[in-house]
Amino acid sequence: MRTPAFVPLATKATVRGLLPAEVAQLGYDIVLGNTFHLHLDPGDELVARRGGLHRFMAWDGPIVTDSGGFQVFSMGHGTVADEIKGRAPSGQQRAGRILAIAEEGVRYRSYVDGAERFMGPETSMEIQANLGADLALVFDECTPFHATRDYTARSTERTHRWLDRCLSWHAEHAPREQLVFGIVQGGVHEDLRVESTQAVAARGCDGIAIGGSLGAHKQQMYEVVGWATAALGDDPRPRHLLGIGEIDDLVAGVERGVDSFDCAMPTRLGRHGMALVPDPGARWRVDLTKSAQRESDEPLMDGCPCPACAIGWTRSYWRYMTRNRELTAMRMLTLHNLAFVERAVRRLREAIHAGTFRAAADALLAGAAP
Ligand SMILES: [Zn+2]
């Protein structure tokens, strides 16, 4: 994998709307599948019987699978976005799904059929082995932003015990070539983050992922990521930042020594009628469904070399299409957004090799087109 790199999500064994060849043609080397969702539907054992996830979805490149911890715990804790926006998960979501968190693992109710299920460190690793992931992530508790320091400390210690269980299962049963990354937790507490980073780094993981709640706003997130990367020092193993991918966050992550990122943002925005554009003041996005675009003859993005922009549609047409939730529009916006992020990351990557990272980073942050 060329780094720094962005990893598009193929949550349910597809980068929604795109063909595997299109994802590769955009310049992506690797995609991320979701352990939790694929376990529930279609089932990792079914995927294993089809020859593994690569063959099932016809993707030849590497696949990373997350551990399912984030999804399992999101059911109980709600997401950071929910908290920040003061939006509680619906009663059913909070009450019905997560049943118990214990040392052994988590009991939860499946959103697919309502059945009671269990996921623990060994379960998660076994699912990822069945899927045939090239890179597995260990099972961790993703502590929410609102968790107390005491809860976060106890949870982080348990996550380290789960890390050991994941690694011993992996050493004995995982496919020989499968790599495994540990996950740093510790919430927004410096000492806990540093301890967690040291604990993960002390194990024989192939790489280190930074997960969990990174804070309520970007500056806090950068600080939290910086604690972890500083604690890693010159450890040569790859570092992955989980669930982060806005343009300024990519720049800040690379600055702090992060090698790879995954994020739902570019694909999810595309499905909701939003395009990435070089406009830092608007968080690099334009909402095409808004009335301001109704009679706009402007292109989606001036000079964009992506296949969607090559068609020549005006924003007026994009607005009409996105408001009607046309599949074509969602698909082409996904292409445009993933192409945009790929160019931004490639620009940073090439600048690092050329010794011009600062200039390239500043240009992106100032709104240069990637
Ligand atoms: Zn484009």
**Pick the residue with more confidence: 2 or 76?**
2
Nearest to 30 by CA among 69, 59, 55, 66: 59
| CATH number of the domain encompassing residue 102 | 3.20.20.105
Domain contains 246: yes
Does one domain contain both 234 and 295? no
Does one domain contain both 114 and 232? yes
The pLDDT of 289-307, averaged and rounded, is: 98
CA–centroid distance, residue 299 to ligand 1 (Å): 9
CA–centroid distance, residue 309 to ligand 1 (Å): 4
Does one domain contain both 115 and 150? yes
pLDDT at residue number 142: 87
Q: Of the given ranges (113-117, 242-246, 287-291), which has the lowest mean pLDDT?
A: 113-117
Does one domain contain both 246 and 323? no
CA–centroid distance, residue 60 to ligand 1 (Å): 25
Domain contains 71: yes
The pLDDT of 61-89, averaged and rounded, is: 70
Q: Is 109 helix (H, G, I), strand (E, B) or coil?
A: strand
Domain contains 334: yes
Give yes or no for residue 94 having a pLDDT over 80: no
pLDDT at residue number 74: 79
Percent of the chain with pLDDT over 90: 85
What is the residue range of 22's domain? 5-263
> How far, in Å, CA of 54 to CA of 63, rounded?
8
**E strands along the chain, which residues?**
5-7, 31-34, 63-66, 98-101, 106-109, 116-119, 135-137, 179-184, 207-210, 239-241, 260-262, 274-276, 285-287
Instruction: Give residue 90's pLDDT band: very low, low, confident or very high (50, 70, 90).
Output: very low
The sign one gets for the Cα dihedral 243, 59, 171, 3 is negative
The pLDDT of 84-96, averaged and rounded, is: 45
Does one domain contain both 210 and 285? no
CA–centroid distance, residue 364 to ligand 1 (Å): 16
pLDDT at residue number 78: 54
Does one domain contain both 236 and 317? no
Instruction: Give residue 313's pLDDT band: very low, low, confident or very high (50, 70, 90).
Output: very high
Give yes or no for residue 18 having a pLDDT over 70: yes
Does one domain contain both 274 and 233? no
Q: Which of 263, 285, 307 is the last residue of a domain?
A: 263
CA–centroid distance, residue 54 to ligand 1 (Å): 28
Does one domain contain both 259 and 144? yes
The one catalytic residue in 44, 140, 249, 262 is 262
Q: Which of 241, 263, 285 is the last residue of a domain?
A: 263
Domain contains 370: no
For the chain, the average pLDDT equals: 93
Does one domain contain both 217 and 338? no
The sign one gets for the Cα dihedral 277, 283, 287, 292 is negative
pLDDT at residue number 88: 47
> How far, in Å, CA of 274 to CA of 72, rounded?
28
Instruction: Give residue 76's pLDDT band: very low, low, confident or very high (50, 70, 90).
Output: low
Domain count, the chain: 2
* Residues, CB within 5 angstroms of ligand 1 (ion): 304, 306, 308-309, 336
CA–centroid distance, residue 303 to ligand 1 (Å): 8
How much is the pTM? 0.93
Q: Which of 212, 239, 263 is the last residue of a domain?
A: 263
Does one domain contain both 57 and 126? yes
Give yes or no for residue 82 having a pLDDT over 60: no
Give yes or no for residue 38 having a pLDDT over 90: yes
Nearest to 36 by CA among 119, 132, 99, 100: 119
Domain contains 143: yes
The one catalytic residue in 44, 66, 82, 259 is 66
pLDDT by residue (tens digit) across 132-174?
A: 999 999 999 988 888 899 999 999 999 999 999 999 999 999 9
Percent of the chain with pLDDT over 70: 94
Does one domain contain both 141 and 62? yes
**94 neighbors 1 (Cβ within 8 angstroms):** no
Catalytic annotation present for 66: yes
Phi–psi pair at 97, nearest 5 degrees: -105, -50
Q: Which amino acid is at 316?
A: S
Q: Omega of the bond prior to 278 within 30 degrees of 0, cis?
A: no
Does one domain contain both 207 and 304? no
